[in-house]
Amino acid sequence: MSTTGQVVATGLCGTEMKVLGSKHLDLLYPTILGHEGAGIVESIGEGVSTVKPGDKVITLFLPQCGECTSCLNSEGNFCIQFKQSKTQLMSDGTSRFTCKGKSIYHFGNTSTFCEYTVIKEISVAKIDAVAPLEKVCLISCGFSTGFGAAINTAKVTPGSTCAVFGLGGVGLSVVMGCKAAGAARIIGVDVNKEKFKKAQELGATECLNPQDLKKPIQEVLFDMTDAGIDFCFEAIGNLDVLAAALASCNESYGVCVVVGVLPASVQLKISGQLFFSGRSLKGSVFGGWKSRQHIPKLVADYMAEKLNLDPLITHTLNLDKINEAVELMKTGKCIRCILLL
């Protein structure tokens, strides 16, 4: 059961940047990238009942079928239907995209870097009819992933100390989540000092550049806090950074959350002694949100001014300027570029 929709706005996420840089996600080509989108339903297939033509929707790279063990478990959100996306085809084994007679593969259940796309019903969420799509498209991935990692996955506690490694769009959303949860101290870590001002505006109490330090970042963080960090977040997708984040945690009760997409082909090598004392390492996908259930609520919170997405959007361009957007991301001066169609 699928829907056809017009993509109105889509964000250029770090995931696409990684695909363009190294193809480490082991994709099939040619493919239409893009997964952080919002649009309007144009038509629906047989059996579709939760959306209708004209509805505003958020695209969901992580579906919610409502039937698998993960969907039925209150603590799970990794729907088994996500694995279908690995084929980069629809459920019937075919693609809905062609170019000059040649089949084009789908991406992330969504493929939002195009004017129209075809998505399964379980990968779209109907939202408020007056929601500004050029803003709330961020809830499709980046904001939800970071904010939820703090709120749902780590369950940051009031008065705690947090460290966020990587201050891109996702990392800054983690900062916002830590602040919303009542963290007393939020330390941003990034090699790009130009991101520090934005991080502090969103809730970071201080920021560090590891390249300016005389000791490893984990040692500095231990010195700053006396006992290590309560909650650490790796929001880059770098194995070395993840090892440092884990080592920065309080050895007894510290929690390290993996938010960034790590290379699939590389194994993580860390000392087992880091866990002997009690610290833990947790994975997180889409911030722990059940996509179709929770995303409309996040949009409603934005409309009620309980969430502020605007600081995350630094650039807005038309889709035909996507190559300019890629270059902006490479400079490190762009947090999120929204592409309009």
- Residues catalogued as catalytic: 13, 16-18, 35, 65, 68, 71, 79, 141
Residue 86 to residue 84: CA distance in whole angstroms: 5
d(C-alpha 39, C-alpha 152), whole Å: 27
Q: For residue 234, which of 121, 153, 118 has the smallest C-alpha distance?
A: 153
> Distance (Å, rounded) from C-alpha 302 to C-alpha 331?
29
Is the preceding omega at residue 30 within 30 degrees of 0, hence cis?
Answer: yes
Residues 6+ positions from 315 with CB-CB distance below 8 Å:
325, 328, 334, 336, 337, 338
β-bridge mates for residue 57, sequence order: 39, 126
**How large is the C-alpha radius of gyration of the chain?**
20
Q: How many helices (H) and strands (E) does the chain have?
A: 11, 15
SS3 labels along 175-207: HHHHHHCCCCEEEEECCCHHHHHHHHHHCCCEE
Neighbours of 136 (CB within 10 A): 23
Phi, psi of 8 (to 5 degrees): -100, -40
Angle between helices 322-331 and 14-22 (to 10 degrees): 90
- Pair 255, 230: CB distance under 8 Å: yes
Structure tokens at 202: 């969103």
